[in-house]
Amino acid sequence: MLTIPAGRLRIFVATEPLDMRKQFDGLAGAVRNALGGEPLSGDLFLFFNRRRTMAKAIYWDGDGFCLWAKRLEKGCFKIPKVRRDGVVQVEMEMAELTLLLEGIDLAGATRRPRWSSPKAKVNHSSPCIPERYVRGRSNALAG
């Protein structure tokens, strides 16, 4: 079971496949080089192999890296589709990650209106991954 630290955790899913032979250092390097992120930030970074039958997640828990892996015996993970070229990762919430890892296809899911801070502009009408989560936009979430 994946135990996530308490508090607000940002989850980034890589949109490009990764060699699943990578371990701690290789995944930390992929976070820096392929995603442009900081592995020591405490954010969780999720990668899939080319066939989408294996997933690996890495995050820093304060005193070391945690590595989590899941290999499917049948079927494949349905990762979020990116609508624009050049986007290397998407951000999702813990509930979406849980559904993704349990085999639920998020493409048909719709987000119900929820309260949000007046500072945050939320697009509740888009299915699955709201536009505000797509990394690489000029108004993307700041670190």
pLDDT in tens, 99-110: 888 888 777 777
**pLDDT level of residue 32 (50, 70, 90 thresholds):** very high
Q: Percent of the chain beyond pLDDT 70?
A: 76
**DSSP SS3 for 57:** strand
Q: Quote the pLDDT of residue 87.
A: 74
- Asked if 105 and 78 touch (Cβ cutoff 8 Å), the reply is yes
Give the separation between CA 75 and CA 66, rounded to whole angstroms.
Answer: 26
Q: Quote the pLDDT of residue 28.
A: 94
Q: Quick one: CA dihedral 113, 92, 140, 110, positive or negative?
A: negative
Average pLDDT of the residues in 33-61:
93
Instruction: Please name the helix (run of DSSP H) or strand (run of DSSP E) that holds residue 48, with its range, or none.
Output: strand 44-48
pTM of the model: 0.71
> Is the pLDDT score of 44 beyond 90?
yes
- Asked if 75 and 103 touch (Cβ cutoff 8 Å), the reply is yes
Q: Quote the pLDDT of residue 124.
A: 43
- Asked if 132 and 120 touch (Cβ cutoff 8 Å), the reply is yes
